[in-house]
Amino acid sequence: MLLIVWHSRTGAARAMAEAALEGAAEEGDAAMLAADDATPERLLAAGGYLFACPENLGTMSGAMKEFFDRCYYPLLERIEGRPFATAIAAGSDGSGAERQIERIVTGWRLRRIAEGLVVSLNAQTPQAILAPKTVSSADLQKCRNLGQSFGAGLAMGLF
């Protein structure tokens, strides 16, 4: 099963996670879980992970970081080798959030199975940053494709 752990403040990362879930569900078993609700037990039950969150102040959102903080030690040495991918809703380039997640999952010894998907929303003013976000249909299709290929790989035992 693919578990999509997500957090969203303005809607973009949630829309990305939902699109990925839609694609993954076409290929096999997939579930979407808010970062606040994610537990080590839920992650242990999954075969792979897609982490979807916004970039906030150049890093992943606080709720996503809290998820990793809560689950890191209980899962250490228990999920090694499982596949993961990331989807970042970014105000700029998303590299800080991507790097932060990469460093954490390196400790879990997860395997990246796809290049990080970063959707840049170019929100640079206070008004744009706080406003609800929409993701283009082309970017949502990229998320669906990521979910579909990840789900198919899990279903076929490729990962």
CATH number at residue 74: 3.40.50.360
Tell me what pLDDT residue 92 has. 81
pLDDT for res 2: 98
Q: Who contacts 63 (Cβ-Cβ below 8 Å, separation ≥6)? A: 7, 35, 36, 53
Which residue range is the domain that position 68 belongs to?
A: 2-155
% of the chain at pLDDT higher than 90: 85
pLDDT in tens, 17-52: 999 999 999 999 999 999 999 999 999 999 999 999
**Which pLDDT score, from 0 to 100, does residue 114 have?**
95
CA distances from 107 to 26, 42, 103, 126, 156 (A): 31, 19, 7, 35, 26
How many distinct structural domains can be found in the chain?
1
Q: pTM for the whole thing?
A: 0.95
pLDDT in tens, 117-154: 999 998 778 887 788 888 999 999 999 999 999 999 99
Mean local confidence (pLDDT), 51-61: 94
